[in-house]
Structure 1
Amino acid sequence: MAPATAEGHAPFRGHRTWYRVTGPSGPSSASGASGPSGSGKAPLVVLHGGPGCTHDYVLAFADLAAATGRQVIHYDQLGNGRSTHLPDAGADFWTVGLFLDELDNLLAHLGIAGGYHLLGQSWGGMLGAEHAVRRPTGLRSLVIANSPASMPLWLEAAAGLRAALPAEVEAVLREHEAAGTTDSGEYAEAMRVFYDRHVCRIPWPDEVARTFAAIDADPTVYHTMNGPSEFHVVGTLRDWTIVDRLERIAAPTLIISGRHDEATPEAVRPYADRIPGARWQVFEDSSHMPHVEERAACMSAVGAFLDAHDPAL
């Protein structure tokens, strides 16, 4: 039997953060907080990427509710999906600090700030690392999935991956980037060639397609903080780095990435080198989404890691 699910909204600065809890002892109503899981296992909170994506494409991690007997909590970050949209908010509104505060607010609303695991995918891993360097007392473990440790490293890696694209594809990308016409259909077609190599190498499942459709419907956060594509980063995050702060992370940390990932080994390696005791697992048949491309193997690895770092019953 599939685990129970429940949805709700956490009030946040006059707005609302939508969340979904999968697994035991979920919230009894859309407005009620869940508290810790009755299984004795700390819940897992999943941070989606972007910035500007939605929870849909990382829904596979809900598999861990049945596999490990814990709550798995997804949410849409402010400005995205089922949370409050703010298309008129300026660039100074969309900051790393905003999303850190939103995460803290959600943990408190759900009553789990005293004990939880955190998994962040892509931008979500960057956000998770920012959370972890503050050494929150309730953080049991951290999973950083397919995330760069700095945007300059990400851009350097992207340049190398782009150089390996067919010449005509790269020419189209550069032409539209120079002209400021990255919203054209031709640019989107050329962009998809890169995505099919380095973002998701299998036919896109519905949940992945839903996330990309949501970005197209409201690209406010993605365009402001990132840019028009995964490899043309001109937004407010373009100079972001956490490399010089990684030694502060005290929580047990698992790093995962794909062999064909747009988050290349050079962009990921500082996490493995600088976080004390961190372990790094590479999925050989995946790019940026091992949770989709090698779903069973990814869930097995993450589930075992979480089980190893649950609080004593």
Structure 2
Amino acid sequence: MASTPTAKGTVPFREFKTWYRVTGPTGAGRPALVVVHGGPGSTHDYLNGLSVYAERGWTVVHYDQLGNGGSTHLPDADPGFWTPQLFRDELENLLTRLGVADDYVLFGQSWGGMLAAWHASERPAGLRGLVIANSPASYPLWLSEMDVLRSQLPPGVDDTLRKHEAAGTTDSDEYIEAMLVFYARHVCRVQPWPGELMASYMEAVSDPTVYRTMNGPNEFHVIGSLRDWSVIEHLPSIDVPTLVLSGRYDEATPVTVRPFDELIPDARWEIFEDSSHAPHFEEPERFYEVLGAFLDTVGARDAQTTTVSGG
């Protein structure tokens, strides 16, 4: 049975507003599970399934990052406004405003995983665990691996893509059709796409300000301000148990994910053999089993720490 949201609304962030939803019990003795979506420029919708952990006693927090969904839209903002620091500040503001900054676990997917890892590297006192799902550790690595994946597309597809990229016609029907060939292989292999994934995709299409500025026209043609961004240098500073997740066919290839596993001291990496970038849709049973086991471990460890420190 689906959990009923216990609270939703907005919190102030600078002169803007961040939309959030809290599902499940509060004060139940477990850390809050805070869900950081991808993009940048997507929404929380495609990660709604994580609300299932509310039925296991977790307080689950979803939110829409600034510029999309229920949060303040800023289509006329200067491109320089949109920075990773802005979104890290927004996350930290949300944690404080919702009163969970003293006891929480972060789940970050795709770009959200990079953002969560950067936040975790500052060793916030209340962070109990970290999940990095389908995330590259650096955009330069991501871009080099995109060339590999594109070269493996059916004959003629990459030629079509590059023709339009060179001409600046990435909005053309021919380009979009070729783009979807890549997406069906490396973004989500469930066809048609699940409704919640389509909801996030359409939100990004309806206001592409953030995605176009920071990323580019699509997943594999990153020409925005993130093209040189990396969190690799921050990874050795992360001091909480970390679960790293990726799919065998993921656009976040093993080359892009490996730094998390190698550089975070207490990291474990699980690869989903029949998934791409969305194993929570592609292999849901195993995904929720693996994530649930990690959360149970982190929650138990947190309870032991509380008992020791309180006793």
Letter of the aligned partner of 1:218 in structure 2?
D
5 Å matches for 1:117-136?
Answer: 117-136=105-124
- Aligned with residue 166 of structure 2, among 161, 178, 186: 178
Structure showing the higher helix proportion among its residues: 2
Kindly indicate whether the alpha-carbon contact (under 8 Å) linking 2:240 and 2:266 is maintained by their aligned counterparts in 1: no
Counterparts of 2:51 and 2:286, CA distance in 1: 14
Over aligned residue pairs, what C-alpha RMSD do you find? 1.0
Aligned residue identity for 2:31: A
Which residue matches 2:257?
268
Residues 268-307 of structure 1: CA deviation (Å, up to 9, x unaligned): 0000000002000001111000111111211111111111
**Residue of structure 1 equivalent to 2:2:** 2
Please tell me whether the aligned partners of residues 142 and 251 of structure 1 are also in contact (alpha carbons under 8 angstroms): yes
Aligned AA (1:256): L
For residues 72-101 of structure 1, the C-alpha deviation after alignment (integer angstroms, 9 at most, x for no partner) is 111000001111100011121001110011
Q: Deviations over 1:15-48 (max 9, x none)?
A: 1100111111xxxxxxxxxxxx222111100000
- Residue 2 of structure 1: CA displacement? 2.6
**Range 197-206 or range 166-175, more displaced:** 166-175
Match of 1:156 in 2: 144
- Which residue of 1 is the match for residue 223 of structure 2? 234
Q: What is the CA–CA distance in structure 1 between the aligned matches of 2:181 and 2:266, rounded to whole Å?
A: 37
Distance 2:94 2:276 in 1: 30
Name 2:18's counterpart in structure 1.
Answer: 17
TM-score normalized by the length of structure 2: 0.95
What does 1:132-281 correspond to in 2, within 5 Å? 132-203=120-191, 204-281=193-270
Q: Distance in 2 between matches of 1:2 and 1:193?
A: 34
Match of 2:68 among 64, 69, 80: 80
- Secondary structure of 2:81 counterpart: coil
Kept after mapping to 1: 8 A contact 2:2/2:52 = no
Q: Secondary structure at the match of 2:258?
A: helix
Q: Give unpaired runs (5+ residues) of structure 1.
A: 25-36
Rounded Cα–Cα distance in structure 2 between residues aligned with 1:124 and 1:280: 17
Give the SS at the match of 1:119.
strand
Aligned counterparts of 2:173 and 2:12: Cα–Cα separation in 1 = 38
Paired positions, count: 300
